[in-house]
Amino acid sequence: MVIMSIVKINVLTVPAEQREVLEKRFASRAHAVENSDGFEWFELLRPVEGTDNYLVYTRWRDEESFQAWMEGPMKAAHQGGNDRPKPAASGSTVWTFDVVQQAKPKTA
């Protein structure tokens, strides 16, 4: 089996009163990941019904690229002093998937 990429989905539990805060924080650093080596895709998915979980979807060339981002730019973005605002999410879980099949629209 050929692994094409890996997907990391960060499942964030976000109380209703913190949704706007979370979305604004992501918007303020929207381009923080785009220049990372091995980065392929990002999406922030807002729940529509039945859950308080946002999904942060990122796709990477390989696990090493993701780990390099986590230990570099991501770690730096989440460090701060006592003036750092409290997290908008009340919980977080990371799911990892291998991309083994994919499709895209055919061009005319």
79, pLDDT greater than 70:
no
> Percentage of the chain surpassing pLDDT 70?
90
Residues in the chain: 108
Q: How far apart are CA 76 and CA 60, in angstroms?
A: 19
44 is a domain residue: yes
Range of the domain at 49: 5-77+88-99
pLDDT tens digits for 7-34?
Answer: 999 999 999 999 999 999 999 887 888 8
Query: Locate tokens 């499709």: which residue?
Result: 103
95 is a domain residue: yes
30 is a domain residue: yes
pTM of the entire structure? Answer: 0.82
